[in-house]
Amino acid sequence: MAEERGTEAWHDHDHDRTFQPDIEDSAPGWAELQAEAVRSLLIEKGVVTAAEIRAELERLDSVEPALGGRIVARAWTDPDFRKRLLADGTRAVTEFGASMGDAELIVVENTPARHNVIVCTLCSCYPRTILGLPPDWYKSRAYRSRVVAEPRMVLREFGTAIPDDVAVSVHDSTADVRYMVLPLRPAGTEGWSEAQLAALVTRDALVGVVLPPTP
């Protein structure tokens, strides 16, 4: 009976907060239905178990952009690692215990003459195994279409002003090829430890919509 009383107490609660729809309130999209069909088939055929899928989702959801920050900080302080990272990003990140799975990682380096931004114009391809889940805006149609057509204006909306004499390159990720930006090391960070440097490099700097702050 205690449980029932608890339920009543919940319903008696004065619900004057903003209504938030349940995720089940909108009809599943085509991709969602397809994913569920494939998932059901894989389980039914004994290829994977529900527990394995759950564990993989949990593992993917546990990746944090801080890993990308550590990789950048290493590249800033270790010239040999920087070379390896730019030459073969996929292989270089394994030094951090990260795996790109079946995808290739290309690390694009910002220079005083060129700024890089990443997008997936088609959907939401993103180096999830090193940066974690992409931000919601990364998946928005507005970002996907506009950053290609007017990157400087989109960057200004993120508060990032790229001078006119600096070129802007936009890299379109796919399922097979994913990008990460290697930002320029901010001035005034000479002698900083890798951990201090890593803390400057946030998710959005790895996508290229902001620059790491100059201390």
Q: Report which residue's Cβ sits closest to Fe ion.
A: 125
Q: Which stretch binds Fe ion (CB under 5 A): 19-27, 101-109, 120-128, 190-198?
A: 120-128
Alpha carbon dihedral 86, 89, 92, 93, in 10-degree steps, equals: 130
Structure tokens at 132: 């974690």
Q: Nearest CA to 96 among 78, 122, 117, 119?
A: 78
Q: Known catalytic residue: 123?
A: yes
Shortest distance, position 171 Cβ to Fe ion, whole Å: 12
Minimum CB distance to Fe ion smaller for 77 or for 124: 124
Q: Known catalytic residue: 125?
A: yes
Q: Which of 123, 140, 145, 193 is catalytic?
A: 123
* 125: contact with Fe ion by CB under 5 A: yes
Q: Known catalytic residue: 120?
A: yes
Minimum CB distance to Fe ion smaller for 143 or for 192: 143
Q: Which of 26, 40, 99, 120 is catalytic?
A: 120
The set of long-range contacts for 98-104, using a CB threshold of 8 Å and a minimum separation of 24, is 98/67, 98/71, 98/129, 98/130, 99/129, 100/127, 100/129, 100/130, 100/178, 101/129, 102/176, 103/127, 103/175, 103/176, 103/177, 103/178, 104/176, 104/177, 104/178
Minimum CB distance to Fe ion smaller for 87 or for 122: 122
Q: Known catalytic residue: 99?
A: no
Q: Hey, which residues are catalytic here? A: 120, 123-125
In the complex, the residues that contact Fe ion under the rule CB under 5 A are: 120, 122-125
